[in-house]
Structure 1
């Protein structure tokens, strides 16, 4: 694992794609040469709530990894829960 302090936009895009494919933090970390804890912290720190779902209840699946709806098979359906996503471009801006 490298000791670079910051994630690049490319790293963040790889994290987003990995989440959408349903990969684990370990698999994503190996693909970008970062520790899985770094990936986990990045996702938790930069989650975005979809505004149209703000008034809904939080999904119980968001309490465990991957903490976002990116890879959820129900994300395109109206599951009735608040939707939270990791978006690489938004994370890079912060």
Structure 2
């Protein structure tokens, strides 16, 4: 039997922490949604709504990888390096 989506309307801090951890591990929105028992669209909207931009010191061009899911740099292998692009992160708060 497949677990159903929860009836809670709001994401808890624990849900947000699970989203951040999933993004850092390179999980898809679908996999994160199954983990927290929420629809993948809910996860996507949460990430888009609460992403934070960190400006780069070299040039502030937007990264072409941010145009598609997961829309943030949390799981990017170049995250710790200075790639020269604006860095966008999802931080659970």
TM over 0.5: yes
Gapped regions of structure 2 (runs ≥ 5): none
| 1:64 aligned residue | 68
1:79 to 83, 86, 89: 83
TM value normalised by structure 2: 0.90
TM-score after normalising by structure 1: 0.89
Structure (1/2) with the larger helix percentage: 1
* Residue of structure 1 in register with 2:13 after alignment: 9
Partners of 1:45 and 1:36 in 2: CA distance: 14
Q: CA RMSD in A?
A: 1.2
Give the alignment partner of residue 53 of structure 1, picking from 41, 51, 56: 56
Is 1:24 the counterpart of 2:32? The answer is no
Count of aligned residue pairs for this structure pair: 88
Distance 2:44 2:17 in 1: 14
Q: Deviations over 1:55-83 (max 9, x none)?
A: 61000000000000000000000101000
Segments ≥4 residues shifted beyond 6 Å:
none
Give, in angstroms, the shift of residue 53 of structure 1: 2.2
Structure number with larger C-alpha Rg: 2
